Amino acid sequence: MKIPELTTAKVRTAHECVINEQVKQKNCTMVLFIILSFILITSLQTSAVENAQTVQKELPAVKTDQPPTIDGVLGDACWQDAPQAIGFTDQRTEKPAKNQSIGRLVYTDTAIYVGLHLYDDMPDKIVARQTKDQTRIRGEDWVSFSLDPFHTHQFSDRNFFIVNPLGTKYAHLATGRAEKSEWIGLWKTAARIVEDGWIVEMEIPWQMLDYPHTIQPVRMGINVDRLQQRTGERSWWCNLGVNEFRENDGHWIDVLPPPRKRELKVLPYLIGGISETETSVGATSRSRREYTARAGADIRYEVTPQLRLIGTANPDFDNIEQAVEGIDFSYGERYVPDRRPFFSEGGNVYRLGRLFHSRRIVDMDGGFKLFGKIGKNTSIGTLGTYHRNNQNVILQASQSLTATSNISAAFLSHHHRDTGLNNVGYLSGDVRHGKFSVGSNLTQTWAEESDGGNGFISFGYNGLLFQHYLSAFFVDPDLVNRLGYLPFTGYRGVGLGTFIKNEWREGFFRRVSASIQSQISNTYEGDIFRRDFYVSSLILTHSDYALAAGWRGGQFEEFRDSVFSIGFRARASDRFNNVGITYNWGQQAGETIHRISGNLNLRAYGFTAGLSSRIQWHFERRYQQIFTLTYDFSPALSLGSRLILQVEGVNIYFALRRSGYAGTDFFIILGDPNASEFKQRFVAKVIRAF
């Protein structure tokens, strides 16, 4: 057999390829060495200089026979002798807050009452914008009262109640609730700006909380924290620090909660509508009119004082405005969040990360959820959905071992008429000691002839200025989870990163942050899967301007990538009036890429308008413009529309809605909120809680 001779050019090319590969490996090793050295040095330095001292304070429980009037005035008799929460600490500087606060707390057999005086040396510069209840309050002054009834110091058992200076309120309950006020709980607030700051009063009914069934006084976890938007000062009664270590929460001692009453609540709905569709028959098209009439209901029943059953029959998902999938280039499937209320009720129990992505469940005729506590430190959650073509079940249990350690297990089962049965088992645990933490999880899947698994372990350090992590992971080629979000399989590797962030209460800079992250993984055959390096930075000024810059590069399979980004925002913290633009450029997937993204939001005279625009030049030119316009007749009643222009088509819809508050909700919709093109469709929907 004759061996072909290699030419000098071929030898040189082969030699250059070997050298280039060696250079790449050396560069990769050098980057990892630099990151690891930086992590080690900063961890040792910050461990030596940081002061993590915090005082765990106590507040005695006081029961009153004369509850206060919720009017934003702390003149009621019960407030005069109520114990005071004083001595607030700036979480960043770990020194006494420049603008102090005083909290007061009393209770009755029906409710908990909170009175807060939030001092401010410039009350005319207090920032208050949000007027709709149960909408995230950010970019403005706010105060939060948190309650941990089971005294576990776990976030999953924490309820917090946030109020801004307008009296707008937002409640986050331990198990998560749907947005209907009667299901969240009818709590009251009042707020007013005074000459030395602002005042808040809250009335929180016991009935909206999960708490221990007891005939003896117990100890509960409590805290109060506040943000002063003007300076960025975040202060705590019991300082949890910038990483919010919840074992440092304060204590509410000798409180005797009332016996819990079981409740049955029903949320029925009625829908009527008409739509027209075009059908083609040969060379002609015909218009067909269809009428819609349907009904359904959700129920909510307390099996025990700490265990809730949620059921739904014939749920309406067609009229829920879902998130819009972006157009940014991605090697795998893009993640799009789910906004359907059924999956948000009790959502805090089903925190399974990418193991469960509720948008995988498209069709369902009915479903149920049972979630809550079966012991002080033990929580369970079950979810089931039924459709003639597919059925799904999730079983989950978690146990808090200490204030800083947990274990959990889950089982997921998906059955589809076409693809058969797919089962998933999951086990996870995490523990933290001071600023150091370890977390891990292990998954095993079964689907017909494919049995695969994946695992993850991470070591972290969370300091005052620096946060670091080092992780290792694997995803088997045969892993199948049809209920999860996992774009790729068949790889394993390591990841590491470091973050730095600092804040200043005065001067030009308000906040500066930066990060360096990397992920290195190979296929099970030993080929390169991903070499990902990411550098980012952000500068935020006290004038509310933000400048961001970053670079992401490396290699994905055979493609070498290098993409830069720079962005600018004005009025960065104002969610209602802001403007921003971002430009990305570089090489990705073997092609030059350019992308311009921008957003503009304005609010005036009851109108709120928003424009989000993206144009991308890559393999082809793609664009996406999303325009929203809303007029608020009141916090509960609004008329809104959303227009989406993209390559796939143009869609617009209009909606008159009354929602989010006690009483009857209604929606009158013209168009389809989730279609790719405009549909001639008119729907009226009425919801009433009983």
- Maximum separation of any 2 CA atoms in the chain, in Å: 105
pLDDT for 327: 83
Q: Using CA atoms, how far apart are residues 213 and 305, in angstroms rounded to an integer?
A: 7
pLDDT for 43: 46
In percent, how much of the chain has pLDDT > 70? 89
Q: What residues make up the domain containing 139?
A: 58-255
Q: What is the mean pLDDT of residues 429-445?
A: 96
Q: What is the mean pLDDT of residues 156-165?
A: 95
661 vs 526, higher pLDDT: 526
Residue (of 440, 385, 381, 387) closest to 411 by Cα position: 381
Same domain? 42 vs 116: no
Same domain? 66 vs 147: yes
Same domain? 76 vs 214: yes
Q: Using CA atoms, how far apart are residues 554 and 28, in angstroms rounded to an integer?
A: 9
Q: Is residue 463 part of a domain?
A: no
Output the six-digit token pair for 85: 């929460």
Same domain? 79 vs 174: yes
Mean pLDDT of all residues belonging to the chain? 89
Q: Which of 255, 278, 293 is the last residue of a domain?
A: 255
pLDDT for 521: 97
Q: Is residue 162 part of a domain?
A: yes
In percent, how much of the chain has pLDDT > 90? 72
Most confident of 15-24, 152-161, 188-197, 204-213: 188-197
**pLDDT-based confidence at 423, cuts 50/70/90?**
very high
Quick check: 461 pLDDT over 80?
yes
pLDDT for 177: 60
Overall number of domains in the chain: 2
Q: Is residue 187 part of a domain?
A: yes
pLDDT for 271: 94
What are the DSSP calls for 448-509, one per residue? TTEEEEEEEEEEEEE-SSEEEEEEEEEE-TT---TTS-----SEEEEEEEEEEEEE-SSSSE
pLDDT for 52: 43
Q: Using CA atoms, how far apart are residues 465 and 500, in angstroms rounded to an integer?
A: 5
User: Tell me: the pLDDT tens digits for 293-306?
Assistant: 999 999 989 888 88
**pLDDT-based confidence at 96, cuts 50/70/90?**
very high
pLDDT for 347: 66
Q: What is the mean pLDDT of residues 322-351?
A: 81
pLDDT for 281: 61
Q: Is residue 422 part of a domain?
A: no
CA 523 to mean position of chain CA atoms: 31
User: Tell me: the pLDDT tens digits for 583-609?
Assistant: 999 999 999 999 999 999 999 999 999
Which stretches of 219-290 are DSSP H helices? Answer: none
How many residues appear in the chain? 690
Picking from 73-82, 179-188, 289-298, which range would have the lowest pLDDT averaged per residue?
Answer: 179-188
DSSP state of 4: P
User: Tell me: the pLDDT tens digits for 553-578?
Assistant: 999 999 999 999 999 999 999 999 99
SS3 readout for 39-88: HHHHHHHHHHHCCCCCCCCEEECCECCCCCCCCCCCCCHHHHCCCEECCC
Q: Which of 201, 222, 255 is the last residue of a domain?
A: 255
Same domain? 34 vs 83: no
Quick check: 164 pLDDT over 90?
yes
- Residue 30 DSSP SS3: helix
pLDDT for 3: 35
Picking from 170-179, 439-448, 514-523, which range would have the lowest pLDDT averaged per residue?
Answer: 170-179
Same domain? 42 vs 144: no
pLDDT for 337: 87
Yes or no: say if 219 and 251 are a contact pair by the CB < 8 Å rule: yes
**pLDDT-based confidence at 344, cuts 50/70/90?**
confident
Q: What's the CATH code of the domain at 190?
A: 2.60.40.1190
pLDDT for 21: 46
Q: What is the mean pLDDT of residues 317-334?
A: 86
pLDDT for 348: 65
Quick check: 63 pLDDT over 90?
yes
Q: Which of 255, 279, 306 is the last residue of a domain?
A: 255
pLDDT for 321: 83
SS3 readout for 496-533: EEEEEEEECCCCCEEEEEEEEEEEEEEECCCCEEEEEE
- Residue 11 DSSP SS3: helix
Q: Global pTM?
A: 0.87
612 vs 353, higher pLDDT: 612
pLDDT for 689: 83
